[in-house]
Structure 1
Amino acid sequence: MNSSKNMLGSDTIVVSFRRMDERLCEIARTGNVEDLLKLTEDHPLLLHTVLLEGGENPLHIACIAGHVGFVKKVIELKKEFAMELNQNGMTPLHIASAAGNIEIARELLKIDSNLCLVKGREQRIPLHCAAVKGRVEVVEELLGASGDSIAYVTARNESVLHLAVMNYQYEVLKVLVEHLKKFNKEDIVNQKDVQGSTVLHLAVSRRQFEVISLMLDEEFVNKSVLDINSLNNAGLTPLDVLLIFQSEAGDREIEEMLRRAGGARARHFSLQSLEADRTATSDVDEGRPQSPAKQLLNYFKYDTIKDSPARVRNTLLVIAVLIATATYQAVLSPPGGVWQDDSNDHVAGKSVMGSHNPIAYSLFLVSNSVGFFTSLHIICLLTNAFPLHLELQISIFALIFTYDTCMTAIAPSSRISIMFTVISIVLPFLAPVLSTGLRNYLKAPRCELPLTSNSNSR
């Protein structure tokens, strides 16, 4: 009996704290300091409980709302909130930095300057958030609190300079470059992301003329430091990136700027320079630079690092749907169309091509059916774990039935019609079996037969 009472009492406390938590969130949204003090006086353990629960706390909410006075009071009552990450992987300083609230950022940094080095979602620190949003004043404040923060990179190995260029934040980039020059850290401009791209690669690919001009200006970046011919993972220099897709107005001016600064194409490098970059790039093939055509193919080919499985699946789904649509349409409207009327040698609604050239028509339908059923098989595989998968399968079987009906209906003879009825029944089940067997065969290891004594003697 006592135990049940204790359990009931603990449940009541949990419910009570949840209600107070909701009330605390509302107070944080409005920024009412008096209500906060009254609530904490009535429930002294409330802030401790919220801290133990984790996730979003009153300081996160106040930073979003921009209530400086409320932030000061919460810090005074429970400064540990400043270190907590919310459900989006952001500390209060991340939020204040992204929002550009310099006053709140300063208050938070008073607790501990190392707060600007706390890593959140994708390993981003507050400086990264400020750079993405172009908060110049906050960037300067964060760099002042910790100059080393400029060397921190994200989970994708992106430096804060990468993020500034990717988000077209030129003024932020200027501040960052000036900071690098002031503290002799200019080599960070050559930092590469997971795709091997430097800041210059990104600026050239986005045709950011003013950024390129800044990076090539010796007053900002020492020429001896900047690696203008750095190779990315596709084996391309910044000049290669420009010339492969040269089509926009202003490209000629950018090319001239790069060449004046010593920019060159990868194929012009000496074999010694190429060998030095062999481990970091795919630019060398058996000791020779790749051709422009090969570079273009490497630029677009599948990369296990930069291409996520979700992105690849979505791409394959689009391609499979396009193939299914094209092959389905080909059956509805076969080459040559269908006869429009009856006569002695043909029947209305039957394939013209099938009447004149049955062999070619048979080859067309077989090839078209292989493409159609294989694409449907791919769609089924890629959507296997999707919700409403049963309904999707019903739709696919209905599509197969209409395809088979149309294919047999327009066949010019009963013999061809029967043949394709059999094919239409067998192919949906045969396509996955054949594809699996062929894939296993092609990927099976090949063993060379050992040389016999006779062959050795010869």
Structure 2
Amino acid sequence: MTQELKDVNRQLDITFWYFNNSLQQLSIAASEDDVSALYRVISNNPDLLECIDQKPFNNTPLHIAAETGRTRFALEIMSLKPSLGRVLNHDGFSPLDLALRNGHRETVRRLVRFAPELIRIQGRERITPLHYAAEVEEIDFLAEFLMKCPASIEDVTLCCETALHIAVKNGKLRAFKVLFGWLKRTNNRREILNWGDEDGNTVLHVAASTNQTEVAKLLVKYVNVNAKNHEGLTALDISNTKPPIQVNARMKKILLRAGASKASRLHQLPTLAEMLGSPEALIEKIFQFNAYLDEGLSGEMRNSMLAAAILIATSAYQSVLSPPGGVHQGDTNTSNQPAVEPGEVVMRATKFYPFLLGNSLAFGASLGIVFLLLPTTGYGVLHISLVLLMLGYIDSALTISPATPTAVCFVFAGFLLFTLIVAVRMVWKLLQRFPSASWETIGSVYFPNRD
């Protein structure tokens, strides 16, 4: 039994030596950018890369290649074992981190082009390559990372800081402008501007505490200027708490012009627990419906609803152009009875008014549903076209209707319904982009920041 144990230990020692020897050869090949040596080592030990991948916090040959700027070797080993790109070394850095921190720009670009998801690998203190690029103001890489991996803007550090927080805290104005400009131009994820760090400080709080007026001037149009941090302070409170010699009059002016207030002057909102324990308000049901349109509606269902709404709108508009019974073609009246205007409906008013009201409401509702189902960004021309179509319907309906207040009211009933639907949708979108303090509690349910 003792001899068998010795044999097993001996075999393990040989295997361990063989693995370490192969790993050493691979590390040398990585530092020399020798791709041929990579395949020689692998041919002798086919399971080597798999074994390396299984070891946590391992300084792999890919780390060595990335740290020394050996681009060809790094890409070759990434092709063979893509998961190695996610491994952190003993210092908590990924291969992309090392290439970026050591200034190997071509290696960074090639790795990102090969696997954009590497941008979201969270290393030491959950810092990503995007966070580091913001910290050191690598604006070219910032722009490239955002274009290759847009979702990386949502990543936060261990201190719950976004790349925007990091840029402003380090006084990197150019980096902040790149991040802010990307958010503004892509017209999505703007709610990130209102995210707080571990102390509840938004980017505006940070700008106020560091007297960065240019940052504040850009932010106030897009954020909740009265957001409170965990100490219950607004950006204006933070600006006022500075010693008199450090108070920036321009900063206070920017905040006050944007409607900023002291926390003591703001209405006390109910807590989230109080809101959840209270009866559901109508506004919350409207929030739920809009949230369902944004997140819960499948593409197939959206297309089906859109097709049905367009069909109803088309039928309703056609009914106005060709109403039941037709329209008068001209005045052939030779009696003393009042003449009927050409183009006016033949139907009696008592029958026509119910038809007009129902048709107008159907057209307004269907057109409103089309407006709801269209994306809010990139479809501005279509939204304007829907409004113009509604106005065209009003003109057509008034043309065929008797000149009475009742007819006018029934025609505009459809317009009011359309306007109401559009208004609710626009308010929802505005609250998503610029959630004010008054919506803070309810919004926390329907605007979840992040995990």
- TM-score in terms of structure 1 length: 0.53
Higher relative contact order (CA 8 A, sep 6+): 2
Q: Report the equivalent of 1:197.
A: 201
Q: Is the 8 A contact 1:113 1:146 kept in 2?
A: yes
Distance 2:203 2:271 in 1: 18
Q: Give the deviation of 1:99 after TM superposition.
A: 4.5
Q: Give the deviation of 1:165 after TM superposition.
A: 1.3
Q: Report the equivalent of 2:366.
A: none
Q: Report the equivalent of 2:337.
A: none
Bigger drift between 35-44 and 196-205 goes to 35-44
Q: Give the deviation of 1:197 after TM superposition.
A: 0.4
Identify which of 120, 123, 127 aligns with 2:123.
120
- What is the CA deviation profile of residues 110-166 of structure 1, one whole-angstrom value per residue up to 9, with x for unaligned ones? 444333333334333332232223222222222112212212223332222112212
Identify which of 16, 31, 34 aligns with 2:33.
31
Distance 1:230 1:2 in 2: 71
The amino acid of 1:210's aligned partner reads E
Q: Give the deviation of 1:56 after TM superposition.
A: 1.8
Q: Report the equivalent of 2:239.
A: 242
Pair 251,123 (structure 1): closer, same or farther in 2 beyond 3 Å: same
Q: How does 1:1-80 map to 2 (within 5 A)?
A: 1=3, 4-54=6-56, 55-80=58-83
Pair 3,68 (structure 1): closer, same or farther in 2 beyond 3 Å: same
Bigger drift between 30-39 and 145-154 goes to 30-39
Aligned residues: 270
Q: Report the equivalent of 2:264.
A: 267
Identify which of 146, 149, 153 aligns with 1:150.
153
- What is the CA deviation profile of residues 313-339 of structure 1, one whole-angstrom value per residue up to 9, with x for unaligned ones? xxxxxxxxxxxxxxxxxxxxxxxxxxx
Identify which of 85, 94, 111 aligns with 1:82.
85
Q: Is the 8 A contact 2:134 2:163 kept in 1?
A: yes
Q: Is the 8 A contact 2:86 2:118 kept in 1?
A: yes
Q: Is the 8 A contact 1:100 1:138 kept in 2?
A: no
SS of the aligned residue for 1:275 comes to coil
Q: Give the deviation of 1:174 after TM superposition.
A: 0.9
Distance 1:181 1:267 in 2: 32
Identify which of 195, 199, 215 aligns with 2:219.
215
Distance 1:277 1:146 in 2: 36
- TM-score in terms of structure 2 length: 0.54
SS of the aligned residue for 1:107 comes to helix
Distance 1:135 1:99 in 2: 13
Q: Give the deviation of 1:12 after TM superposition.
A: 1.5
SS of the aligned residue for 1:51 comes to helix
Q: Give the deviation of 1:260 after TM superposition.
A: 2.2
Structure 1: stretches of 5+ with no match in the other structure: 217-222, 281-458
Q: Is the 8 A contact 1:98 1:133 kept in 2?
A: no
Q: Report the equivalent of 1:322.
A: none
The amino acid of 1:105's aligned partner reads V
Distance 2:173 2:165 in 1: 11
Identify which of 148, 171, 192 aligns with 1:188.
192
Q: Give the deviation of 1:265 after TM superposition.
A: 1.9
Q: Is the 8 A contact 2:93 2:124 kept in 1?
A: yes
SS of the aligned residue for 2:269 comes to helix
Q: Report the equivalent of 1:451.
A: none
Q: How does 1:393-412 map to 2 (within 5 A)?
A: none
**Which runs of structure 1 show a deviation greater than 6 angstroms over 4 or more consecutive aligned residues?**
277-280
Distance 2:166 2:214 in 1: 16
Distance 1:46 1:6 in 2: 21
The amino acid of 2:233's aligned partner reads L
Q: Is the 8 A contact 1:100 1:130 kept in 2?
A: no
Q: Report the equivalent of 1:169.
A: 172
Distance 1:249 1:122 in 2: 32
Q: Give the deviation of 1:107 after TM superposition.
A: 2.8
Pair 58,166 (structure 1): closer, same or farther in 2 beyond 3 Å: same
Q: Is the 8 A contact 1:231 1:277 kept in 2?
A: no
